[in-house]
Amino acid sequence: MGHVMRQSPGWPSLDDSPAADLYRSHAPVIFSYLRLHVPSYEDAEDLLVEVFLAAFEHGKVFELREREQIAWLQRVARNKMIDLYRRASHRQALDIEQVAELLYDDEEQGPERVVLRHEEYARLRASLKTLPAMQQEVLRLRFAEGLRSAEIATIVGRGDSAVRMMLSRALNMLRTIYEQR
**Whole-number Å distance between alpha carbons of 78 and 157:** 11
Q: Are 40 and 81 in contact (CB under 8 A)?
A: no
Q: What is the pLDDT of residues 153-176, one digit of tens each?
A: 888 888 989 989 988 888 888 788
Nearest alpha carbon to residue 37 among 74, 89, 92? 74
pTM over 0.75: no
With bands split at pLDDT 50, 70 and 90, how would you rate the model's confidence at 93? low
95-122, pLDDT tens digit by residue? 555 555 555 555 455 556 656 777 777 7
Contact 137, 83 (CB under 8 A): no
DSSP 110-147: -HHHHHHHHHHHHHHHHHHHTS-HHHHHHHIIIIIS--
